[in-house]
Amino acid sequence: MLSQSSSLSKALILTIASLCIFFQLAVAVPAAEVEKRTVFTPLVTYPHTGTVWYKGQTHNVTWDTSDAPSSITGRFGGRIQLRKGDTTTPLILQSNFDVLLGRIEVVVPWVLSDTDYSLVFFGDSGDLSEQFTIME
């Protein structure tokens, strides 16, 4: 019985020692260099306060690209989502577009009529449009 206990203790010590060595090696590996990112936060110019969209219609969402940097991280990963009040909905109105286009067409979704909608423009940041109305 004593030799069995001794073998178990040796196995436990060997396992703990192996884990310690593994973690020391893992920590010793240098971290990858952080990629420098160029952030572009364009102003959404349409829709704006006073705009009324009707469900099912097609509209252009427009944004200002006049101060865009020459190199943008995630340039072709643009996405526009609908926001209601303070909540960004899961409704993606457009995605995977060039954020330097300055405009993109969207179809107005079938949602409850209300006056507190806005759009979230995701390029490499999230920018909000002004609130506007969606009606039937």
The per-residue pLDDT string of the chain (136 residues; one tens digit each, 9 = 90 and over) reads 556 667 767 777 777 777 767 667 666 666 666 566 667 788 999 999 999 999 999 999 999 999 888 888 778 889 999 999 999 999 999 999 999 999 999 999 999 999 999 999 986 566 789 999 999 9
Output the CA torsion 22→24→29→32 (10° steps): 100
Q: What local confidence, expressed as pLDDT, does residue 114 receive?
A: 98
Q: What local confidence, expressed as pLDDT, does residue 134 receive?
A: 94
Q: What local confidence, expressed as pLDDT, does residue 102 receive?
A: 96
Q: What local confidence, expressed as pLDDT, does residue 8 receive?
A: 67
Closest CA to 122 of 79, 83, 88, 91: 79
Paired with 92 in beta bridges are 81
Q: Per the confidence metrics, is the pTM higher than 0.85?
A: no
Residue-range domain boundaries for the chain: 1-30, 44-135
Residue type, 22: F
Q: What local confidence, expressed as pLDDT, does residue 71 receive?
A: 82
SS3 for 111?
A: coil
Right CATH number for 44-135 from 2.60.40, 2.80.10, 1.10.8, 1.10.3470?
2.60.40
Q: What is the largest CA-CA distance in the chain?
A: 85
